[in-house]
């Protein structure tokens, strides 16, 4: 095995979050800065933060509601509707 191929390991590396939380872990870097941690992440805190860009979340929720209200037609019902539509069309001369 080659010597000096692995980076230095720091068992007490300091991690600091943008929210102000700090804790220590083992890492190959002495100091780590993160934007979000277990203290401020919505999954762990239970606070749901939705970043709505141009109403995309509202559009998505509206599509889901529309899909839930839509009736599901079988193939036979679709064929019957198509056949009824053909019968109703007047023939041009």
* pLDDT classification of 23: cutoffs 50, 70, 90: very high
To the question of domain 10-79 being in CATH 4.10.80.400, the answer is: yes
pTM of model > 0.95: no
Question: Is 56 labeled as ligand-binding?
Answer: no
Q: Which residues contact 16 (CB under 8 A, 6 or more apart)?
A: 22, 31, 32, 33, 34
Question: Is 37 labeled as ligand-binding?
Answer: yes
Average pLDDT of the chain is 84
User: Which among 11-15, 49-53, 66-70 has the top mean pLDDT?
Assistant: 11-15
- pLDDT at site 12: 95
> Would you list the domain boundaries of the chain?
10-79
CB atoms within 10 A of CB 64: 10
Question: Is 63 labeled as ligand-binding?
Answer: no
Q: Residue 72 is inside which H or E element, if any? A: none
């Amino acid at each position: 095995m080659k010597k000096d191929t692995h980076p230095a390991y720091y068992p007490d590396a300091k991690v600091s979050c943008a929210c102000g939380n700090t804790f220590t872990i083992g890492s190959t870097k002495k100091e780590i800065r993160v934007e979000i941690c277990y203290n401020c992440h919505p999954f762990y805190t239970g606070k749901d933060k939705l970043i709505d860009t141009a109403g995309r979340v509202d559009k998505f929720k509206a599509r889901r509601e529309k899909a839930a209200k839509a009736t599901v037609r079988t193939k036979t019902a679709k064929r019957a509707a198509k056949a009824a539509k053909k019968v109703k069309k007047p023939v041009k001369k």
